[in-house]
Chain A
Amino acid sequence: DAGITQSPRYKITETGRQVTLMCHQTWSHSYMFWYRQDLGHGLRLIYYSAAADITDKGEVPDGYVVSRSKTENFPLTLESATRSQTSVYFCATRDYNEQFFGPGTRLTVL
Chain B
Amino acid sequence: QQQVKQSPQSLIVQKGGISIINCAYENTAFDYFPWYQQFPGKGPALLIAIRPDVSEKKEGRFTISFNKSAKQFSLHIMDSQPGDSATYFCAAGWGKLQFGAGTQVVVTP
Chain A residues engaging chain B, CB cutoff 8 angstroms: 4, 31, 33, 35, 40-45, 48, 58-59, 90, 92, 94, 97-104
Task: Establish whether residues A45 and B96, one from each chain, have CB atoms under 8 Å apart when the complex forms.
Answer: yes
Q: How many residues on chain B are close to A (CB under 8 Å)? A: 24
Q: Which of B6, B9, B97 contacts A99 (CB 8 A)?
A: B97
Nearest to B94 among chain A residues (CB) is: A97
Task: Establish whether residues A42 and B96, one from each chain, have CB atoms under 8 Å apart when the complex forms.
Answer: no
What's the nearest-Cβ distance from chain A to residue B98, in Å? Answer: 8
Task: Establish whether residues B44 and A43, one from each chain, have CB atoms under 8 Å apart when the complex forms.
Answer: yes
What's the nearest-Cβ distance from chain B to residue A29, in Å? Answer: 13
**With contact pairs A42-B101, A43-B89, A97-B49 given, residues A48 and B44 touching in the complex (Cβ less than 8 Å):** no
Q: A residues within 8 A CB of B89? A: 42-43
The distance in angstroms between the C-alpha atoms of A33 and B97, with both chains bound, is: 10
The distance in angstroms between the C-alpha atoms of A103 and B34, with both chains bound, is: 19
Task: Establish whether residues A42 and B102, one from each chain, have CB atoms under 8 Å apart when the complex forms.
Answer: yes
**With contact pairs A98-B34, A98-B49 given, residues A44 and B43 touching in the complex (Cβ less than 8 Å):** no
Q: Verify if B32 is at the interface (C-beta below 8 Å from A).
A: yes
What's the nearest-Cβ distance from chain B to residue A63, in Å? Answer: 20
Can you list, as one digit per residue, whether each of B18-45 has a CB less than 8 Å from chain A (1) or not (0)? 0000000000000010101000011111
What's the nearest-Cβ distance from chain B to residue A55, in Å? Answer: 13
Task: Establish whether residues A90 and B44, one from each chain, have CB atoms under 8 Å apart when the complex forms.
Answer: yes
Nearest to A48 among chain B residues (CB) is: B96
Task: Establish whether residues B42 and A103, one from each chain, have CB atoms under 8 Å apart when the complex forms.
Answer: yes
Q: A residues within 8 A CB of B66? A: none
Q: Verify if B99 is at the interface (C-beta below 8 Å from A).
A: yes
Q: A residues within 8 A CB of B91? A: 43
Task: Establish whether residues A42 and B99, one from each chain, have CB atoms under 8 Å apart when the complex forms.
Answer: yes
What's the nearest-Cβ distance from chain B to residue A90, in Å? Answer: 5
Q: Verify if B11 is at the interface (C-beta below 8 Å from A).
A: no
Q: Which of B41, B45, B49, B100 contacts A42 (CB 8 A)?
A: B100
Can you list, as one digit per residue, whether each of B64-102 has a CB less than 8 Å from chain A (1) or not (0)? 000000000000000000000000010100011111111
Q: Which of A4, A48, A98 contacts B46 (CB 8 A)?
A: A98
